[in-house]
Each structure stands twice: as C-alpha cells, then as structure tokens.
C-alpha cells in the first residue's frame, strides 16, 4: 500500500513538476537495482522510492526561469541601481539605459570548465532567455592572453579586449567549491596581477554554503561570488537537520536509508558513496546531475551493473 501511494506521488511529479523529462520506466528500472543484498528486497525498494519522492529535480522550463531570475537579481537590477546612484539618484530612463548598455558591452560571461561541461553549456540558455548579444559570451582562451613572468615563476594573464572591464564566471551549481577553486585559481591570480582594477565576479544557480564561502575567499572572488539559491547543511540528506527526511512516515528509519545509500554507493563509487566530498545532495537538472549527489541516483553501468534514475554526464 505504502509503495503504491509513493508510486502515485512520483508519477504526479513526473507528469507535472518534472515535465515528463524523467519517465516512470526509468524510475522502475532504477528501483530494480535494489536486489535485497542488504535488507529485504521489498524494504530496500520502499526506502529507495521514498528517497526519490523527496528528490529535487529541475526541468528545462524551470531552469530557464531560474536563469532569468539569476540575471535580473544578480546583474541587471544591481547594476542599474548603482548607475542611478552614480547619477545622483536620477530617474531618467534614457541615462540609465545608455549607461547600462555601456557596462554590459564591457562585460564578458565565461563558463567554468571546458565548453562541453554543464556550466558552460547552460550559458547558451542564459544568453537566450535574457536576450543578450552573442559577443558577450566567450571561453577563457578567447577572453585572455598570457605570458610568462620575467623570472619564469608564474603565468600572467591579460584581458584580450582592452575595453572589457568586467569578467563574470558562471556555473550551474557549486558543491564543495574544490573543483572550481582548483580550475580558476591560476587564472584569477594571473588576471588580478595584470589587471588589479578589473571587476571579477561569479554567478551560479545553486551553491552550498561551504562552496560559496570558498569561492568568496580573497584569492578567488573576494566576496563577489553569488548564487540564486544557497544550499545550507539542511540540504545534505543525512544531516541532523536534513529537510529531505524531516517529516517521514512512521516506518521510515533514517539510519537504514544511510546504510542503504552507503552499501550500494560503495559498490558504485568506493571513495565517495555519498557523493563527491560527502556532498549528500539530492538534486538533478535536465542537463546533468552533480557528482555531489550519492552515486546510487546517477551511476551508469561500470563494474557494477546499474540503471540510473537521473542522467549524469561525466567530465572528459
């Protein structure tokens, strides 16, 4: 009975909240991964289907709306407010619009990672839904030139277009912040050394509190990293204050869910059964699933045969 109720709930999520981008057949195939190797098979699948019922999935339509909000709330509106202040609180829309267009044309948006990765890929939709000119979007190779310092100790990066005064780095989600930090630190230090006055920012749809704090360190974005939705520790599945399982049926035991996730997760990704850096996130997008999510939700094939509930495209 309980499993039937959860199936009905998930079918409703699929048809409405998830825009049918995930199918019941995929969820059913995923449930069949749980074969009773830890607990009774029926019990394992009941726990698994309950976890899916609490999972956060964001389809194409919702992601595009969030991209609009990200641009409006963290670029467009603050920039226009600053312009107004610089012009003594003017309400002259022509003055504000002209100044804004000048600021926008001096900005370049750059996806974190190579062009095939999810953050860079999502920039296409960011540009599209916000009606932004194509020439504002570049990759690092197109945005920067570089040279080796005289003593050969470091690489100095310079902005290729001298009229560009602002670089905005973009990603879909920040988990631990480790990968973005390791990727960007050499570039950011080199850019700052060559252009101490340049405005360098970071924007993402989602970021964990810890990941955002890491990106806001002085050696990285120095307080200029921002996100649309911040994920505190309550978004970790097994945190004491986890919101995923804060209201659960009487039969549900969070310790059993923990053990189930750990046991199967170790078979799929031994070093990170709860997701990269113990992420414990339960979140996916139509375009990808972060590796901070436990692998039981996204792993595909490999040494241990596994049908995923949500798609994940690995970095090459």
Q: What is the pLDDT of residue 178?
A: 87
pLDDT per position as a tens digit, 166-191: 999 999 999 988 888 888 988 898 88
SS (H, E, C) the chain: CHHHHHHHHHHHHHHHHCCCCCCHHHHHHHHCCCCCCCCCHHHHHHHHHHHHHCCEEECHHHHHHHHHHHHHHHHHHHHHHHHHHHCCCCCCHHHHHHHHHHHHHCEEEEECCCCCCHHHHHHHHHHHHCCCCHHHEECHHHHEEEEECCCCCCEEEEECCCCCCEEEEEEEEECCCHHHHHHHHHHHHHHHHHCCCCEEEEEEEEEEHHHHHHHCCCCCCCCCEEEEEEECHHHCCCCCCCCCCCCCCCCCCHHHHHHHHHHHHHHHCCCCCCCHHHCCCCEEECCCCCCCCCHHHCCCCCCCCCCCCCCCCCCC
pLDDT per position as a tens digit, 81-129: 999 999 999 999 999 999 999 999 999 999 987 665 667 778 999 999 9
| Contact residues for 152 (Cβ-Cβ < 8 A; gap 6+) | none
247-272 burial: b if 16+ Cβ within 10 Å, else e: eeeeeeebeebeebbeebbebbbeeb
Q: Are strands 166-174 and 199-208 parallel, antiparallel or unpaired?
A: parallel
Lowest average pLDDT, out of 142-146, 154-158, 259-263, goes to 154-158
**Residue 244 burial (CB count, 10 A):** 23
- What is d(CA 89, CA 259) in angstroms, rounded to the nearest whole number? 59
pLDDT per position as a tens digit, 190-239: 888 888 889 999 999 999 999 999 999 999 999 999 999 999 999 999 99
Maximum mean pLDDT: which of 151-155, 177-181, 249-253: 249-253
Lowest average pLDDT, out of 65-69, 137-141, 271-275, 312-316, goes to 312-316
pTM (2 decimals)?
Answer: 0.91
Helix axes 2-12, 41-53, angle to 10 degrees: 30
Lowest average pLDDT, out of 83-97, 148-162, 257-271, goes to 148-162
Q: What is the pLDDT of residue 115?
A: 61
Higher pLDDT among residues 149 and 240, named by residue: 240
Token pair in block for residue 168: 């905005």
140-157 burial: b if 16+ Cβ within 10 Å, else e: beebbebeeeeeeeeebb
Q: What is the pLDDT of residue 190?
A: 84
Q: Considering Cα of 30, then 35, then 41, then 47, what sign does the dihedral take?
A: negative
Q: Are strands 107-111 and 56-58 parallel, antiparallel or unpaired?
A: unpaired
The percentage of residues in the chain with a pLDDT greater than 90, rounded to a whole number, is 74
| Cα 283 → chain centroid | 9
- What average pLDDT does the segment 38-67 reach? 96
The percentage of residues in the chain with a pLDDT greater than 70, rounded to a whole number, is 96
pLDDT reading at 249 higher than 70: yes
- What average pLDDT does the segment 46-61 reach? 96
Mean pLDDT for the chain?
Answer: 92
pLDDT reading at 315 higher than 60: no
Residue linked to tokens 């241990």: 304
- All structural domains of the chain, each given as residue ranges with its CATH number in brackets, are 2-54+244-297 (no CATH), 66-231 (3.40.50)
pLDDT reading at 316 higher than 50: no
């Amino acid at each position: 009975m309980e499993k039937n109720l959860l199936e009905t709930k998930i079918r409703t999520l699929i048809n409405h909240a998830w825009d049918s981008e995930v199918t019941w057949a995929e969820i059913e195939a995923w449930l069949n991964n749980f074969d009773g190797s830890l607990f009774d098979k029926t019990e394992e699948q009941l726990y698994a289907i309950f976890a899916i019922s609490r999972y956060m999935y964001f389809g194409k339509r919702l992601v595009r709306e969030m991209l609009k909000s990200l641009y409006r709330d963290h670029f467009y509106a603050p920039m226009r407010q600053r312009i107004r202040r610089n012009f003594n609180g003017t309400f002259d829309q022509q003055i504000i619009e002209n100044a804004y267009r000048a600021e926008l044309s001096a900005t370049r948006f750059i996806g974190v990672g190579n062009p095939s990765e999810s953050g860079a890929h999502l920039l296409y939709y960011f540009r599209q839904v916000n009606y932004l000119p194509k020439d504002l979007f570049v990759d690092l190779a197109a945005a920067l030139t570089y040279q080796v310092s005289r003593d050969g100790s470091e690489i100095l990066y310079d902005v290729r277009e001298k009229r560009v005064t602002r670089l905005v780095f973009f990603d879909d989600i920040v988990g631990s912040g480790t990968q973005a930090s390791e990727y960007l630190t050499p570039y950011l230090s080199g850019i700052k050394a060559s252009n101490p006055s340049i405005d360098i920012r970071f924007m993402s749809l989602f970021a964990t509190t810890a990941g955002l704090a890491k990106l806001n360190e002085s050696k990285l974005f120095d307080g200029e990293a921002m996100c649309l939705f911040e994920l505190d520790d309550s978004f970790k599945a097994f945190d004491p204050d986890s919101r995923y399982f804060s209201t659960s049926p009487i039969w549900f035991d969070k310790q059993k869910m923990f053990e189930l996730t750990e046991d199967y997760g170790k078979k799929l990704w031994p070093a990170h059964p709860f997701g990269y850096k113990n992420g414990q996130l339960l979140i996916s997008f139509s375009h990808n699933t972060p590796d901070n999510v436990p692998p039981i939700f996204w792993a595909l094939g490999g040494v241990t045969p596994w049908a995923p509930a949500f798609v994940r495209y690995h970095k090459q």
